[in-house]
Homo-oligomer: A and B are copies of this chain.
Amino acid sequence: MNIRSIRKRITGTPASGTSSDFGLGNKIARKPGTRLINNDGSFNVIRKGRSVFAPYQQLVEMGWSQFLLLTVGAYVLVNLLFALLFLIIGVESLANVDIGGPLWKRYLDCFFFSVQTFTTVGYGSVAPIGITANALAAFIALFGLISVAMVTGLFYARFARPQRLILFSEKAIMAPYGENGGRSLQFRIANKRDSNLIKLSARLVLTWLEDDRRHFAPLELERDNVPLFPLNWTIVHPITKNSPIYGWTKQNYCHRHSELLITVDGYDETFAQSIHINNSYIHEEIEWNARFEPMYFEQEMTTELHLDRIHHFSFLEEE
């Protein structure tokens, strides 16, 4: 076994000179048709072999419906458990509960009393009698307050998470560019909301399969940052002779399973935090010989930006 083959198997990172791969490595996703970055910006990678206990992250990242369901579920479950304890203590330690009632009725009474204590409503129509019931009620009330403190923290964390406020055009296009029949690869982005995004910068990397290896090449941009972002921003890679994709045909893009990887960084003023968005266009999402249609228009004293027009483009007749 020679050194080179060993090295190839050792290093998970590529050799020097390929730092344009965004940290993905040249051995990832070598099966044709495999996408590197999903449409929601996540990576097409599954993590296995280790259950990481990070409940807070999961509670912050899960969807709202799942989060609310979990909250309600925990609320019911916890109070069912506390109700069981009251049942064990004996319902005679709760004023105004019918001692002679059937078990399920007494259990429900305990449950509703537990709920009234947990939420600190405390009507008092049912009230604890004796030390054990009072002590349990004192614990439930504290437990309830701590739970509310936690849920409050979670709500804020969920609210304050960086939002995906940048709208991407559905398609990238291969458009005419410059004087001499040149081309450029373009897509455009817009701020979904008002002026709270600033200092945007974009990076593009094209990746393709060749010789059972992933290749990565950065694409130079006509303009790679904007200080303010009131309108749309069309991100343009002019295909000059220095471009790694100079001379590629539509068939090349397809057969090489190419994917245009994009990272956009910026700063969200509303939440005073940096934002970072990944996206990608696979070869099927690149339209040839097209041009984007205008999406903002001058009015009397202002400018109107039509967000629904971000995806609008039209094909050009072949020259």
Contact = CB atoms under 8 A, between A and B. Distances in A.
Nearest to A203: B227
A121 B137 contact: yes
Interface stretch (A84-92, A139-147, A246-254): A139-147
A42 B79 CA distance: 41
Given A49-B308, A125-B95, A228-B22, A7 B165 contact: no
B46 A302 contact: yes
Contacts of A117: 121
Contact of A47 (B145, B156, B203, B305): B305
Interface in A1-50: 3-4, 6-7, 9-16, 19, 22-25, 27-31, 33-35, 41-50
Nearest to A234: B12
A28 B305 CA distance: 10
A158 B241 CA distance: 51
A138 interface: yes
Most buried by B among A47, A163, A273: A47
A236 B195 contact: no
A271 B11 CA distance: 31
Interface string A258-289: 00000100010111111110100000000000
A194 B160 CA distance: 19
Given A3-B179, A10-B186, A30 B298 contact: yes
Contacts of A269: 162, 276
Interface of A: 3-4, 6-7, 9-16, 19, 22-25, 27-31, 33-35, 41-50, 52, 54, 56-57, 60-61, 68, 71-72, 75, 79, 95, 108, 112, 115-117, 119-125, 127-128, 131, 134-135, 137-138, 141-142, 144-146, 148-157, 159-163, 165, 167, 175-182, 186, 188, 192-196, 198-200, 203, 222-223, 225-236, 263, 267, 269-276, 278, 291-292, 294-296, 298-309, 316
